[in-house]
Amino acid sequence: MLNAAIRLCIVYFLAEVMLNQDDPRFAGKAIPVRNLVIVLTFSMLFPLLHRLFPRRWNRYPAWLDSLYLSIFWLDMAGNSFNLYDSYYYFDLIPHFHSSGALAVVLRGLGLPLSGAIGLANAVHTGLEAQEYYTDVLFGTHNVRGVSDTVNDLTAGLGGTVLYGGVRALIERRTGRRRG
């Protein structure tokens, strides 16, 4: 149920931005293209994995998929509700959560915890570089300077350490290592 609700919200956020591209919440940030890519590709990762590798899980990994989708939902909700422009440090919340959630998802896919944390931080660093260079090369306005990038990366590192630590504690208590 939660998984379906998140997916519906993501589709709503895409429709909203496609119909209101000149809205100040979205203008100049390349959000329509980004949201379209998210909806058509990244949000379909778990359905595709489940289809290609049906024996990987006894049943559909809805909690892992929902956690994964929450990464995109939080970013899209931040734009839809104008939180990024209304609250200067709001972006630290999605950077913290998204990096941490990705580490847990990667662990759930079978990576060792240290590898999941490392890969999540590498992906986050790549996304920060993409934001910065999109601003420099294409004139978008997603980054508010070097301190914004450093703060985002620090928040992401904190998220991966906290979420990864919680995942490790859960694994230790339950004896489960994956999924």
pLDDT of residue 99: 98
Instruction: Check: CB of residue 9 under 8 Å from CB of residue 77.
Output: yes
CA distance 11 to 8: 5
Full residue range of the structural domain in which residue 142 is found: 2-174
* Residue pLDDT, tens place only, 81-124: 999 999 999 999 999 999 999 999 999 999 999 999 999 999 99
C-alpha pair distances (Å), 112 with each of 49, 85, 107, 140: 19, 37, 6, 37
Overall domain count for the chain:
1
Chain-centroid distance of CA 83 in Å reads 16
Confidence band (pLDDT; 50, 70, 90) for 177?
low
Does the residue 179 lie in any domain? no
For residues 145 and 162, what is the distance between their CA atoms, to the nearest angstrom?
26
Instruction: Using DSSP, state whether 149 is helix, strand or coil.
Output: helix
- Cβ pair 79, 25 in contact under 8 A: yes
Query: Could you tell me if residue 11 is inside a domain?
Result: yes
- Quick check: is 134 in a domain? yes
Q: What is the mean pLDDT of residues 22-33?
A: 89
Residue 70 lies in a domain: yes
Dihedral over Cα of 27, 29, 35, 36: its sign: positive
Mapped onto helix, strand or coil, the DSSP state of residue 159 is helix
pLDDT value of residue 56: 82
What pLDDT, in 10s, does the model give residues 130-152? 989 989 998 888 888 889 999 99
pTM: 0.92
Which pLDDT value is given to residue 178?
57
